[in-house]
Structure 1
Amino acid sequence: MATYEYRCPQDGSFDTTLPIGAAGPAARCPRCGGRATRVFSVPRLSRTPAPLRRAIDRAERSAETPDVVTRVPGRQPVRRSPNPAHARLPRW
């Protein structure tokens, strides 16, 4: 059995295990059922932990189509006081 990589335009990369030589140029995406094209990549000689593999795949996807964010990740939005007198206080 061999592991083949496919890329769905909507959901990104996924792997499938098939007998050697049985992989076609396209496959169905397991998430959306759409057409995914085969990606020719280096052989995976060792198993990578799933969280690390997802992080690597996410980094590869963001190189082509970066995620749009509305605020800095990890920061809480600034709470504003409803009292207008507080706006005149000095900021530290």
Structure 2
Amino acid sequence: MPIYEYRCPRCEVYEIIRVMGKAPAEDACPTCGQPARRKISAPHVSRTGTAVFQLIESTERSASEPRVVSGSLPSTGKGAAPIYSSNPLHRKLPRP
């Protein structure tokens, strides 16, 4: 549901959530009760520069336009164990 902004002549700007198209041009201020006029403001559209939006967009795009992979397959990880020590005596120790 959209958020409508109203400006009271005495108080500050306040917001009301109403069904789209059902917001009247004037509404009673919740603080003082005086009639407040609806304010014309810019809509809060999603920001396309944020990382979250870019992630959502790439996820949706990958459903219909998957990325073409080129190159070799990734390794399975069954290679030689990394060497943690250069001491040759440590190679004789039992492995977990």
Please give the TM-score of this superposition, normalised by the length of structure 1: 0.47
Query: Which structure shows the bigger proportion of residues in strand conformation?
Result: 1
Whichever of the two has the greater Rg, that structure is: 2
